Every structure is written in structure tokens, then in C-alpha cells.
Amino acid sequence: MAPPTSAHPTMPAAALAEEQARLPAALAEEQARLAAAREALARMLDTARLRVATGASVAGDRYTAETLGRMLKSHVKELTEEPDGPLYFGRLWFGASPAAGEHRDERYYLGRRHITDESGQPIVIDWRAPVSRAFYRASTRDPLGVRERRRYGWTGRHPAELTGFEDERLDGGTSVDVASRLVAAEIERPRIGPMRDIVATIQPEQDDLVRADLDRSVCVQGGPGSGKTAVGLHRAAYLLYTHRRQMKRGGVLVVGPNPAFLRYISAVLPALGEVDALQQTLAELVGGHPVGATDSEAAATVKHDPRMAGVLHRALYQRIGEPTGPLVVPDGSYRWRLPVEWLRRIVTQVRAEAPPYAIGRERLRSRVVGLLQRRAEGRAETPGGAWLRRMARCRPVTAFLDEVWPATRPEELLALLFGDPTVLARASAGVLDAEEQAVLRWQGRPRTARTAAWTAADRVLLDEVAGLLDHPAGHRHIVVDEAQDLSPMQCRAIARRSRHGSLTVLGDLAQGTTPWAASDWPDQLAHLGQPAATVVPLTAGFRVPAVVLELANRLLPELGVRVAPTRSVRTDGTLRVRAVPDLATATTEAVGAALGLAGSIGVIAADTRLPRLTEALRSAGIAVADPDADDEGVRVTALPASLAKGLEYDHVIVVEPAEIVEAEPRGPHRLYVVLTRAVSRLDVLHQRALPPALRG
């Protein structure tokens, strides 16, 4: 183990000398501790493996055996993933003040999960345990009973070795908190591969969000690189740990903007020991048919408008008819007769109860059967279960339901709405004007529910109708990333799935790039079904260096949203803006130079330019990863501007900003996203004039 780094950066000389003298002893202690922790983990692993081997035979039935087997296997997998990784990142040493409470004079090592010794005594405590909170929250101003906080540095190699530690004395009575070098190094560490967790360096304002109550919905408005995604994922891990039992039903769902983003974040939750959280794009969430057609801009705009919810609701409920005559049901030698007024009354009752449509139909069926039963009882008969079931399924009752409350599928309803102008006009009267109705109508060849090719927006509408027919299965908690980009109708798809749950909504109004992007949070939160969620701003930027952020922030005034500019916590990093004679050549040279430094490299250009650049790079012999493929180990990724959201690279090369702005109506927002992907270095290459805000 390398010698520990010195302690307090501002320590007076005498104290420093004393500290240096203490180091060898502290070092030996740390080494012994690490060895014990490794041994304990190895033992836990052996026990878990043994359980996998015997689990199936000791479990009573096949289902239990399978569940147990799966659980144990995932436990083994979790443990195996880190036997020689950094086992802990910090230590809390409580003092003797009353604030220390039951932890008086105790020392706790904090890591990604619990490690216990043979007798079950904790050696490492999970970062999510209540006592760990003080690690993130304690300060010299409010030490929370903590005497000293220690942070460990580890090598990135396997087995990970301790490279040093850093102590902060918190109960010294001074009121200055000194920035930690280890925290700064962690934040500035080059990025390679997928996103990683931040358990060692969660900041107090992030911790507040991570540990918010399960039932509290929060919305995080945070600038680029302020840690929104990190906070959302750590909150998911925290909730799964703290409310294990409640989370069993429905669990946690993380919704992200596209598959490339989900791949990028996919390793974080498993690294935190959580393998069961579902991670989906919105398209996967609404599921259903493959997208087989594209909407015009005008049609997409209407289809994503919240008024469509009312139109679909009306279209569906306009299918319900008035009973027009009595219902006669033959039953052996009898014919039961239900008068039309009775039928009208039960239809009105069920409508007023407003159940989901498909449930309403079944409820009406059982009310009809109830009336038939009354009739039978009037004849001194006591009908049994078999009779009731027969009545419920008999042809006249079903025919009555088909006429008055017809069964329907989402595809049928939408085909009816888009295919039949009269149905559309009736459902949207007073809501959509003639022009809006016209863009919704299918043109050309008649289509049916079977032959229709559905668009991406149609799938959201089909999901809305499915939600009117019956409630979808919900989740206990949903983390929604890039939430500013969701249309009201997409928001409703999420709201439907969290009717009995809570949300963590993450987004940045300045990064809204869809035609329906939100311009304020209250409306968006109302569409998401959580109008009372609190909006919490995060304004410290952990990704983008100050020089780079300063350039990107110049675009803010023209983005038409009111958000606070992000302030970078990073003073490192470089920015180079260069006019070049040939973009492909300059890009190849810039990538060549970047390959000489550590970390990942992202080349970002307007979608239409990118293929040419990729080709130029490949013909220069540079391996280039495709964001849609799993090209692990390839350092250079060519990324269309439209896919850059949420991702980050150590070195970013942005090619021809003017083209990125011109490529779409919300081009300036897109450029803002693109310029804020760099962790350490940003090169901006341009042949044409830069957009005005970036000049000068």
C-alpha cells in the first residue's frame, strides 16, 4: 500500500508533524482492517455459494426453490463482483457529544454493501443505512456527533489497493469546511465505459434528494452535469434498500430517453447491488405494435396534445348506447323479462361509478344478472352459482352488452376515430378545430385495426385507450429522466403507472428538444399526475469544466426558459474553438490528438454530417464505436447530435455548431446539450460562422 496522503490540507505545521507520526500506525491498522474485510467477504461468498447449491433441495416446492435459487444466485453475483474491489470508501468516527447518541465513540466503515464477520457483526456498513447519512451531511458547522470523517483513495486496478486516506476533523470548533482532494480527484477522474456510481462523493444537496421519503414525489431541475441522473439512480437504490418489502409490489422503474442512454446508465444499479430495477425507454413502456409509419409534424403535434385525452375518452364513451327495449332471456320454460327502465337505470348507475371501461362492461353484466336473479326469486326460486354463471354468459345478455356497452380494443377505437370522419367529428367537437381533425384523419386506402400501420404517437394514444379500458400494472416508484422532453400524452402514460406510487422527475428545461418540450414544471408535473411535487434546483455542475460551461451558458438567454445557470465545481479542463478549412481533416486530426490522452472521446455533429465524419475517421485507421452497438473498449464514439442527451465523454469534439442549430426547430437547445457533454476537454471545429451567441 502506498503511504497515506497527508491529512488536513490546512493543518498547522505542529499538528501536521503529529499527524505524520501517527500515520504508520494508522496505516497498519487500515491494512489489517482491509484484510479482515476481504476475508469476511470471501466467507460470505462461500456461504452464499453453498446456499445456491443446497437451496433447491431444501426448498419445499418448485416455485419456492426457483425464487430462492434466483435470489441466492443474484446475491452470489453481487458478492462476486467485488471481492477485490474497493470494499469501503469512508469511515465515520463518532465523538462523545450528545449528538453522537448511540454511536458514541464508534467507528464505522462505509461501503457499497454490508459485510459482516462470522458472528454477524458489521465490518462494512451499507451507504444507505441510516447511520451512513452523517457521512454525507456532517460539516464543521454541524458535525452531527461525528469527530472525524475519513475518505479512502483506491487504485483503479484489481485487486484494488488503498492509496491513501484523508481525514477531516469535524468537532474542532472551526467553521470552515475545506474542500477534499479525494472528492475533487473522484469528480475529475477520466470517464471510461458506462456511467458509474457516486456513493463515495454524494453531496449534501444530492443526499437530501436521494433519501427523500418514499411517498414524496420530487422534481429536480438541474443544469447539465449537475448529477440529476446520478441522483435518480441512487434514489432508486436507496428506496429498494430501505423499503425492500413495499418495493416487492411493482418495484422501481427508471424511464430514460433512448436505448443508448439506458445502456450507458445500466451498470449503476447493479453495481449498487440492485439487479431488479426495471429500466425502459418510453417506447418500451407503452409497448405494443412496432412503429410502421411516421406522422407529419402537424399530426404529431395534435396527437401529443393533452386535449387528445379528452377526445379519446369521449370517443370511447360515445360507444355506450341507451337501452331501447326490454331484455328477454329464455330460461327453460320461463322467459325472464327486464323492462327498459330497469336497464336504463343500471347503465346510468355504472356510468356514474366511472370504472375503467372494460370493468364497466363486466359490472353491467353482473347488474343484469342481479336483476334476473331478482326476477327468479320473485318466482320463489333460489338460483345457484351455476345458474348465475349461465345467465351471465347467455346469448341475449351478451347481445345486450354488445349493443349498449360494446367490448372494444384500443386499435379498434383508434381505427374508428381516424378512419371515420363522423366519429372523429363527434368525439372532438368543441375540442379540435376542423384543421386539427383533418390532420388526424387517415388519407387514401381505407385501413382497419388489423391493417393499420401505427406511428410512435399512435402507440402513446393506444396506451391511453388501454388505460381507459383497464388500469395498467403500476410501479411503487418511477424515476423519469429527461422529463422536460415528454409530451403531455407521454406524461400521462407514466402517471397511469404510478397511481399508487411516487415519482422522481429529473430534467432541465433548457435541454428540451422535442416539439412539445415543457417550458415550466408545474404543468408538466400536473400531466405526470403529481401536481404537488416540489421542484428542487441543482445548480452545481460536476461534469463540465468551468471554461466549457461558460461557453454553453451564453446560449441560455435565447432558450426561452427561466433556469439558473449551472456553476461548475471544476477548475480543470480546456476549451478550444477553431475555424478550420476542412471539417473531416480537422476532426481526424483532433481525434488523433485526443487519443494521446486518457479517457473516452465523443465526436458530435448534426445527424446528416456524421456519416461522412465517421467514414473519414475509419479511413484514417481510427476505430469508431457506434452509439447503438455494444462496442466496449473502443475509445472513440461518433454521435449524432440527436442522441447526445444524457451522455458524457472525457474529450468532446463538436463539429460545425451552425449546422446543429439549423437542423431542427429547437436547434439552439440541441447545441446547448451538445456543448455540455465534455468532462475534461472540448474542441469546437467550425468552417462556417459560429452561431452569434458563441462568437467573441
Annotated binding site for ATP: 222-229
Which x/- pattern, by CB under 6 A, does the window 504-523 give for ligand ATP? ----x--x------------
* Other CB atoms within 10 Å distance of the CB of residue 385: 7
DSSP output for 12-24: -HHHHHHHHHHHH
Query: Beta strands 146-154 and 90-94: pairing type?
Result: antiparallel
Shortest Å distance, C-beta 602 to ligand ATP:
13
Cα 672 to Cα 571: distance, rounded to the nearest angstrom: 20
Based on the shown chain and the rule CB under 6 A, indicate whether residue 90 belongs to the binding site for ligand ATP.
no
DSSP output for 382-423: ---HHHHHHHHHSHHHHHHHHHHS----HHHHHHHHHH-HHH
Query: By CB under 6 A, which span of 197-205, 371-379, 527-535, 576-584 interacts with ligand ATP?
Result: 197-205
Which x/- pattern, by CB under 6 A, does the window 652-681 give for ligand ATP? ------------------------x-----
Based on the shown chain and the rule CB under 6 A, indicate whether residue 642 belongs to the binding site for ligand ATP.
no
Three-state DSSP at 1 gives: coil
Identify the DSSP state of 372: H
Based on the shown chain and the rule CB under 6 A, indicate whether residue 568 belongs to the binding site for ligand ATP.
no
Shortest Å distance, C-beta 506 to ligand ATP:
7
Pick from 125, 135, 162, 203: which binds ligand ATP (CB under 6 A)? 203
Which x/- pattern, by CB under 6 A, does the window 435-474 give for ligand ATP? ----------------------------------------
Shortest Å distance, C-beta 646 to ligand ATP:
4
DSSP output for 188-233: HSPP-SS----TTT--HHHHHHHTS-TT--EEEEE-TTSSHHHHHH
Interface size with ligand ATP, residues (CB under 6 A):
22
Shortest Å distance, C-beta 507 to ligand ATP:
8
The residue among 418 and 542 lying less far from ligand ATP, judged by its C-beta, is: 542
Cell representation of residue 270: 447493479
Cell representation of residue 71: 435470489
Shortest Å distance, C-beta 636 to ligand ATP:
19
Based on the shown chain and the rule CB under 6 A, indicate whether residue 224 belongs to the binding site for ligand ATP.
yes
Based on the shown chain and the rule CB under 6 A, indicate whether residue 543 belongs to the binding site for ligand ATP.
yes
Query: Beta strands 534-538 and 502-507: pairing type?
Result: unpaired
Pick from 115, 187, 368, 622: which binds ligand ATP (CB under 6 A)? 187
Shortest Å distance, C-beta 673 to ligand ATP:
7
Cβ–Cβ < 8 Å for 158, 98: no
Pick from 573, 627, 646, 657: which binds ligand ATP (CB under 6 A)? 646
Query: By CB under 6 A, which span of 221-229, 432-440, 467-475, 557-565 interacts with ligand ATP?
Result: 221-229
Shortest Å distance, C-beta 301 to ligand ATP:
25
Based on the shown chain and the rule CB under 6 A, indicate whether residue 201 belongs to the binding site for ligand ATP.
yes
Based on the shown chain and the rule CB under 6 A, indicate whether residue 198 belongs to the binding site for ligand ATP.
yes
Q: Does a cis peptide bond (omega within 30 degrees of 0) precede residue 515?
A: no
The residue among 202 and 302 lying less far from ligand ATP, judged by its C-beta, is: 202
Shortest Å distance, C-beta 63 to ligand ATP:
39
The residue among 160 and 401 lying less far from ligand ATP, judged by its C-beta, is: 160
The residue among 436 and 648 lying less far from ligand ATP, judged by its C-beta, is: 648
Based on the shown chain and the rule CB under 6 A, indicate whether residue 228 belongs to the binding site for ligand ATP.
yes
Angstrom distances, CA of residue 247 to CA of 65, 435, 475, 528, 674: 21, 47, 8, 21, 36
Three-state DSSP at 426 gives: helix
Shortest Å distance, C-beta 152 to ligand ATP:
15
Based on the shown chain and the rule CB under 6 A, indicate whether residue 682 belongs to the binding site for ligand ATP.
no
Based on the shown chain and the rule CB under 6 A, indicate whether residue 257 belongs to the binding site for ligand ATP.
no
Query: By CB under 6 A, which span of 127-135, 228-236, 453-461, 661-669 interacts with ligand ATP?
Result: 228-236
Query: By CB under 6 A, which span of 138-146, 198-206, 279-287, 460-468 interacts with ligand ATP?
Result: 198-206
Shortest Å distance, C-beta 163 to ligand ATP:
18
Q: By C-alpha distance, which of 273, 38, 6 is closest to 160?
A: 38
The stretches of 429-556 forming alpha helices (DSSP H) are 434-440, 456-469, 488-496, 521-527, 546-553
CA 510 from centroid of its chain's CA atoms:
19
The residue among 463 and 508 lying less far from ligand ATP, judged by its C-beta, is: 508
Cell numbers 387517415: residue: 442
Based on the shown chain and the rule CB under 6 A, indicate whether residue 229 belongs to the binding site for ligand ATP.
yes
The residue among 624 and 673 lying less far from ligand ATP, judged by its C-beta, is: 673
Contacts of 422 (CB under 8 A, 6+ apart): none
Question: What is the 3-class SS of 513-528, one letter each residue?
Answer: CCCCCCCCHHHHHHHC
- Which residue, judged by CB position, is nearest to ligand ATP in the bound state? 227
Torsion sign across C-alpha atoms 396, 401, 404, 410 = negative
* Binding site listing: 222-229
Cell numbers 439506458: residue: 262
Cα 659 to Cα 677: distance, rounded to the nearest angstrom: 18
The residue among 474 and 537 lying less far from ligand ATP, judged by its C-beta, is: 537
> Quick one: 412 exposed, middle or buried, by C-beta within 10 A (0-12, 13-18, 19+)?
middle
Cβ–Cβ < 8 Å for 671, 551: no
Scored b (16 or more CB within 10 A) or e, 105-132 reads eeebbbbbbebeeeeeeebbbbbbeebb
Interface positions with ligand ATP (CB under 6 A):
186-187, 198, 201-203, 206, 222, 224-230, 508, 511, 542-543, 646, 648, 676
